[in-house]
Amino acid sequence: MAEIVLKNIKKIYPNEKTKKHRFGKKAKEPEKKSNLQVTDEGVVAVQDFNLTVHDREFVVLVGPSGCGKSTTLRMIAGLEDISSGDLLIDGKRVNDVAPKDRDIAMVFQSYALYPNMTVYENMAFTLKLKKVDPKVIDEKVRAAAETLGITQYLDRKPKALSGGQRQRVAIGRAIVRDPKVFLMDEPLSNLDAKLRNQMRAELIKLRHKVNGTFIYVTHDQTEAMTLGDRIVVMRDGFVQQIGTPQEVFNHPANLFVAGFIGMPQMNFFPATLVRDGASYQLKTPKFTVDIAPDTCKKLAASGVDAAKTDVTAGARPEQIELVAPGEKGAICGKIVVSELMGATVHVHADVNGSEFVLVINTVDFDKSKGSSFGIGDDIWFKFEPDAVHLFDKETEKNLIQA
């Protein structure tokens, strides 16, 4: 199908807000609520973006609002000019190729269906414009409808459909074109939580039925983790990390990625990393944590040689375990919040001014306590072996190499 290569891609929105791009439309304003770099040329929305999306790969661009992910997708689609760098599809440079000639299909957040047309007509519309044989159109539309489970809605207008059904129609309209590349810009964000879960599952099934290359944009890290072969974490126009979901979760490149990926987010606390021969310890005013031997070897290999180094330490809520009061190396905290989630409970514990969140399976409850922990109770816990992440206090980079 298609390999997409982005080489040193940069996007600058000029200071003249009314400047038009090459297709004669008003340039899209950069996303709000961001800390994007501002230069004499304008606002730098995307900075030095490099990525190779392999044939039939599903890559997800993820990050907070204003990080540049949708702008990157629109540059791939040809809806935004590329200020500098090269975009290649199957080895051909397409910077100056019109959107209609790039052989891509885009699915938008807003569905973008024609309200006066039936589902069938919406899905067939692009093929009719290309003067495709009506028999071929009918075959393609009905095959796509069958794949998406919307055959019974082909004669309905969009207003008679639910949000999830409309999104299926929008995806079906893309499928019938049989494009090289599918681009999806937050297609599930308008759906309620239950529908989002259902549509995520449908998209996972779909990508195995459709032989296409997918690039998907979302701010929802759950979507990114469940859908992507690889994920690209972005912040303020810069790529922070590229890797498989498990790589990014287990070995975040920096403090931002560690806090963004994972729900609840990773616990962070200031500490001093102390080296004694081949061993390391984390020391805080309230507790000391022994670093696992494998992690010590990685620290030594990474060149962390100082006798004492101030760091930001982190531990995921799922990697904290309950222990008996007073157990060696245990940390004692005071419960300030307890959130029962059904199968798990999220316990917030204060330890000398630092708040830790623990995710505890309800089967681990002390039956005498019932199904929750009391506010103000003491709770004792430890970090699991190799659970501790260490970040440089200045650069915020991960000190432990994967």
Quickly list DSSP for 290-313: EPPHHHHHHHHHTT---SEEEEEE
Which domain covers residue 94, as residue numbers? 4-103+179-258
Question: What was the pLDDT predicted at 23?
Answer: 42
Asked if residue 252 belongs to a domain, the reply is yes
Q: What distance in Å separates the CA atoms of residue 338 and residue 359, rounded to the nearest whole number?
A: 10
β 344-351/331-340 pair status: antiparallel
Please return the burial class of 135, using the count of CB atoms within 10 Å of its CB with bins 0-12, 13-18 and 19+: exposed
C-beta separation of 147 from 134 below 8 A: no
Asked if residue 167 belongs to a domain, the reply is no
Asked if residue 134 belongs to a domain, the reply is no
Question: What was the pLDDT predicted at 277?
Answer: 83
- Tell how far CA 168 is from the center of its chain: 22
Q: What distance in Å separates the CA atoms of residue 275 and residue 281, rounded to the nearest whole number?
A: 7
Query: What's 96's domain CATH number?
Result: 3.40.50.300
Residue matched to tokens 């004792």: 380
User: Is residue 21 domain-shared with residue 90, that is, in the same domain?
Assistant: yes
C-beta separation of 49 from 6 below 8 A: yes
Segments of the chain with pLDDT less than 70? 1, 16-34, 36, 305-306, 364-372, 402
C-beta separation of 29 from 18 below 8 A: no
Asked if residue 57 belongs to a domain, the reply is yes
| The 388-392 sheet, strands edge to edge | 288-290, 279-283, 267-276, 308-315, 388-392
Q: What distance in Å separates the CA atoms of residue 262 and residue 259, rounded to the nearest whole number?
A: 7
Strand partners, 354: 351
Domains contained in the chain, number:
2
User: Is residue 54 domain-shared with residue 199, that is, in the same domain?
Assistant: yes
User: Is residue 293 domain-shared with residue 312, that is, in the same domain?
Assistant: yes
Three state DSSP letters for 215-232: EEEECCHHHHHHHCCEEE
User: Is residue 271 domain-shared with residue 247, that is, in the same domain?
Assistant: no
Question: What was the pLDDT predicted at 306?
Answer: 67
